[in-house]
Structure 1
Amino acid sequence: MTTTFPVPPFDPELSAALALVGEQIPSTLTPEMIPLMRQMPADPTLADQVAAVRAVAEDHIIPGYGGAEIAVTVYRNPEQVGTGPGIFHIHGGGMIIGDRFTGVQGFLPYIASHGAVVVTVEYRLAPEFPDPVPVEDCYAGLKWTAENAEKLGIDSSRLIVGGASAGGGLAAGVTLLSRDRQGPQLRASLLIYPMIDDRNTTVSSHQIQGIGVWDRVSNDTGWDALLGDRRGTDDVSIYASPSRATDLSGLPPTFIEVGSAEVFRDEDVAYASAIWASGGDCELHVWPGGFHGFDGLAPQAQLSIMAVAARVQWLTRMLDA
């Protein structure tokens, strides 16, 4: 017997924006749509945004998982004196779409305000490169960043990892890998509506079907591509699906945010609770009526402005510490 759950309301202002967003981004992403979604145009304003913070972009080819070559791009102010905080960015896209420039715009302002250096990684995507390739590529990028911190102008004691959606899930996985392998010491972990549970069994994962952005079927598409037949079995690591971790002790301060009207709500709230249960430090925000990615897709909405402000305040505390 299938249980039907009532759907939480969208914020009225966001609901109006969602009607426009729906003309460009489908609620449901199925496997056959992946090639088309990968052809979405890049942000034409990125170069201007880089110039606005007086930064330059430097591309590097580094060793990824299994010795394969992957790319990272470093954004920094070439006139910066001394070292500043480092932000290691992991892009979103459900593990199946996007590139290292997706979402990096949100971190560029910290170059001007805090003297930060932003590093973003081109991890390989599923289904062509299933788990553990994506998270291991990201970890390889983080290690490279830490090992080259002085050369890049990064204060290694202020290195933060962050990302949104799948990037948030990979950031959580990389944070766990760094803890368990005694890898780079992270100052903090920023998880923006992270994708962290392959099982897709929460109430919120059932509520969001055919509505919003990245619904239940889309989530199935992403996790199936990443894990294949292992999905939902005991043969899934905590680094691929961090919600499976039973011990979240020893993690750096963590920020988690999520909308109340999106698939990831319940798994993200549970992850914050598990950090607290393990004696950890976590700041959690559940934005009422927020759909997945609302702050980026409707940046002028009042809820988006509030969400970004809360994120900036927390990240500033971490960068300034």
Structure 2
Amino acid sequence: MPSEPGPVSTAWDAPPLDPELSVALAALGEEAREPFTLENLAARQEQDAARRPRPTVRDLRADGRFEVDELHVPGPSGGQDVTLVSARPAGIAGTLPLLYYMHGGGMITGNAWSVLPRLLREWALTLELAVISVDYRLAPQAQYLGPVEDCYAGFVWVAEHAAQLGIDADRIIVGGKSAGGGLAAALALLTRDREGPTPIGQLLLCPMLDDRNNTFSSHQMAGIDTWDRTSNATAWQALLGDQYGAADLPPYAAPARATDLSRLPPAYIEVGSAETFRDEDVAYANAIWQAGGQAELHVWPGAFHGFDTFAPQTALSQDARNARSRWLRRILTQSGASSGSAC
């Protein structure tokens, strides 16, 4: 089982919040920090499904600016199909690079549709990038290996059908936020170890990586962050079931368990200084460097979990979005130059 909890943190032990983010968080009220528990999980999932906007395909097409389709592709081991929401800017001829994206929500909430308007607005148009969002199964209805296998099955199918999708199979980036960032990291490990299609980068936004939930920051931000160690423990228990706390848990369940981070695609890792995942994300970047890999790490000062979603207009949120865009552009430019020189 996970280690015994350390000392309970108090608010004055935590790093100070960015002033703009502090105001935004206060405006959200206590509900934004209400933890998920095993007792309230089913009710919270129902609330999330009812409240979270889920745009239709017609909505996502935005009056013809984007081509959008729902794809139903074979799932893992002949199981139920995996739904992928595929989108690209309209009117661009030829193949496009792809961001293969996994949504957040702690493995217990969220959907593939609601994240797309922002991804399309910020990246698809400006970078001439296709986006495929994965509607992986949620816990506890689906437990490990279910969600990551859904993501892998969809990824392999997309790579194999890249030509008909108008996608450059040699220029695919895997990415995600929070739980989706953890799935993206797991997918990078899984494709390496199964010798599957190889992504050119992994975009890990405040990724959920460590089921042990016992870092200094997880204790420091207890009861303070929008996603704290109580919610985190609930989500990991929902995902792992009887495997929760197992000493030999595979890294595809919790990438922080990986002992070999060599031969992975370049990573972009970001996290806030005032969030639960800070220490596990910094440690993951450090482990990639120690394995001889490439990682760009951003620790946003005074940022809590999901800060740019809750407070998108703040200066820090804009800085974070700009940094992500610069990394994506650089990775895509480098991959394009390599493809050109090989011709």
Common fold, TM-score beyond 0.5?
yes
* 200, 217, 240: which one aligns with 1:204: 217
**Quick check: 1:91 aligned with 2:97?**
no
**Quick check: 1:21 aligned with 2:33?**
no
Shift in alpha-carbon separation, 1:45–1:140, aligned structure 2, 3 A:
closer
- Whether the 8 Å CA contact 1:27–1:215 is kept in 2: the answer is no
The aligned residue for residue 62 of structure 1 is 73
Deviation string, structure 1 residues 213-256 (Cα, Å, up to 9, x no partner): 11110001100000123222223110110001011000011000
* 92, 106, 113: which one aligns with 1:101: 113
**Quick check: 1:215 aligned with 2:207?**
no
What are the ranges of 5 or more consecutive residues in structure 2 without an aligned counterpart?
Answer: 335-343
Q: TM-score, normalised by structure 1?
A: 0.95
Shift in alpha-carbon separation, 1:188–1:111, aligned structure 2, 3 A:
same
Q: What amino acid is aligned across from residue 149 of structure 1 in structure 2?
A: A
Q: CA deviation at 1:157?
A: 1.4
Stretch moving more, 170-179 or 17-26: 17-26
The aligned residue for residue 150 of structure 1 is 163
Aligned length, in residue pairs: 321
- Whether the 8 Å CA contact 2:49–2:110 is kept in 1: the answer is no
**Quick check: 1:243 aligned with 2:256?**
yes
Partners in 2 of 1:2 and 1:26 — Cα distance?
A: 21
In angstroms, what is the RMSD of aligned CA positions? 1.8
- Whether the 8 Å CA contact 1:92–1:165 is kept in 2: the answer is yes
The aligned residue for residue 72 of structure 1 is 84
The aligned residue for residue 319 of structure 1 is 332
Q: What amino acid is aligned across from residue 41 of structure 1 in structure 2?
A: R
What are the ranges of 5 or more consecutive residues in structure 1 without an aligned counterpart?
Answer: none
Q: TM-score, normalised by structure 2?
A: 0.89
Q: CA deviation at 1:2?
A: 4.5
Deviation string, structure 1 residues 127-170 (Cα, Å, up to 9, x no partner): 01100000010111111111111111111111000000000000
* 196, 201, 204: which one aligns with 1:183: 196
Deviation string, structure 1 residues 252-285 (Cα, Å, up to 9, x no partner): 1100000011110000000000000000000000
Q: What amino acid is aligned across from residue 260 of structure 2 in structure 1?
A: D
**Quick check: 1:268 aligned with 2:268?**
no
- Whether the 8 Å CA contact 1:18–1:212 is kept in 2: the answer is no
Q: CA deviation at 1:3?
A: 2.1
* 30, 49, 72: which one aligns with 1:39: 49
- Whether the 8 Å CA contact 1:117–1:152 is kept in 2: the answer is no
- Whether the 8 Å CA contact 1:86–1:158 is kept in 2: the answer is yes
The aligned residue for residue 246 of structure 2 is 233
